[in-house]
A and B are shown apart, each in its own frame.
Chain A
């Protein structure tokens, strides 16, 4: 099990994370990332990792 950490002070709402993993990320009405599920089960880890790595401003991290 891994956990997602999102830094809203860095997020620019570009939405690459949502485009790649919309069950975990969504751009909210404030234009910033909302993490829809904090915990990532192991089978989803690679899928979420790709979304985390795609962030152009490095606002996301996958812990564990």
Chain B
């Protein structure tokens, strides 16, 4: 019987197994996970896990029962180290594993700062074990420095303030969230930090850390100031975990390091699909939970013989200091209109193409619905050619 191998046990990997089964794959399915845990979900790591009073259980994606029903073999603690696309075999830390169809979903690795790596009290946040360490560290801290004012850094800042910790949030650029949203939305979002008592310093980096035998004492900034801190958390981005694919038959995107694939999530190698953070679809990586899930499902279905295209409306959500933030559609290069009361709309040639909402779930949901039906943007299951006006999207 033909076998499906899925490398990566995150959301995209699990959804690939579900997508393959739903599309009729009847052969064995194996999921390799580098970590020792059951397949788990990442959004809670920077949210609920950090606020938990007691060390929380791993936020499983599916119950044991559901995994059994899917007839999926999960191999925890197994790392992929190489790929032979001609012999259809993956080299792993547990030996060679052959496949007939392969879905690559190895996700991202947190970016670190070489000079800070290994210092006790300095953390990144990408995996469950990282989240436990950050939670433990926050529980013992009075002051923290968070490096990077993006979504992860901001969520950590929010969790720290909820614990009454003094937070200094550093941003290397002069404009936070430049890759995610326009300047007006960024100003609104950074205002949430100011309201919550977070000290935000832009155009500022860490130049050194002073430690004692008890841990971190002070963080030296590029401005010359030294800030007292018990812990430092880095939220400065992530890069695709594709080092194991270098030199294989799977082509990587030279700029992003992601796996090049088409809208069907097929890579350059026969029988190999990609999904999630590593997938560079027509030159674009969508590093969002919603995209990872949908790409996983489609990659699995297509590996099983379906011919679905990936075309979902970009969508991300977050909670900072009790405020619900939602980002939908195109929110960087379009014209930006601040509609007040927490709704920033983006237009191109007059047509609404995206929005950032702060505690505005109704308008965001309506816009997302409209975008999903706009040709060239959404999944086009109802390609009505609907053009959204700001009024329609708000009412």
Return chain B residues, CB-CB under 8 Å to A28: 362, 365
Q: In the complex the two chains form, is B369's CB within 8 Å of A14's CB?
A: no
Given contacts A12-B317, A54-B293, A56-B289, contact A31 B365 (CB under 8 A): yes
How many chain A residues have a CB neighbour from B under 8 Å? 20
Q: B41, B290, B324, B326: which contacts A16 (Cβ < 8 A)?
A: B290
Return chain B residues, CB-CB under 8 Å to A46: 22
Return chain B residues, CB-CB under 8 Å to A26: 365, 369
Q: A19, A22, A29, A53: which contacts B312 (Cβ < 8 A)?
A: A19
Q: Report if B315 contacts A (CB, 8 A).
A: yes
Q: In the complex the two chains form, is B361's CB within 8 Å of A30's CB?
A: yes
Return chain B residues, CB-CB under 8 Å to A14: 290, 315, 317
Return chain A residues, CB-CB under 8 Å to B76: none
9 contacts between A and B (CB under 8 A): A13-B326, A19-B312, A22-B369, A26-B369, A27-B361, A27-B368, A30-B362, A31-B324, A31-B360
How many chain B residues have a CB neighbour from A under 8 Å? 26
Q: In the complex the two chains form, is A56's CB within 8 Å of B365's CB?
A: no
Which A residues fall within an 8 A CB radius of B? 12-16, 18-19, 22, 26-32, 46, 50, 53-54, 56
Q: Report if B372 contacts A (CB, 8 A).
A: yes
Q: In the complex the two chains form, is A18's CB within 8 Å of B41's CB?
A: no
Q: In the complex the two chains form, is B18's CB within 8 Å of A50's CB?
A: yes
Q: Please give me the residue from chain A that is nearest to B313 by CB atom.
A: A19
Q: Report if B43 contacts A (CB, 8 A).
A: yes
Q: In the complex the two chains form, is A18's CB within 8 Å of B365's CB?
A: yes
Q: In the complex the two chains form, is A16's CB within 8 Å of B293's CB?
A: yes
Given contacts A29-B362, A30-B362, contact A13 B324 (CB under 8 A): yes
Q: In the complex the two chains form, is A53's CB within 8 Å of B365's CB?
A: no
Q: In the complex the two chains form, is A31's CB within 8 Å of B362's CB?
A: yes
Given contacts A13-B324, A16-B290, contact A27 B22 (CB under 8 A): no
Q: In the complex the two chains form, is B22's CB within 8 Å of A50's CB?
A: yes
Q: In the complex the two chains form, is A27's CB within 8 Å of B289's CB?
A: no
Q: Report the minimum CB–CB distance from B343 to chain A (whole Å).
A: 12
Return chain B residues, CB-CB under 8 Å to A22: 369, 372
In the complex, A28 Cα to B361 Cα: how many Å? 8
In the complex, A6 Cα to B22 Cα: how many Å? 24
Given contacts A30-B361, A31-B361, A53-B18, 8 further A-B contacts (CB under 8 A): A18-B369, A22-B369, A26-B365, A27-B362, A27-B365, A31-B365, A50-B22, A50-B297
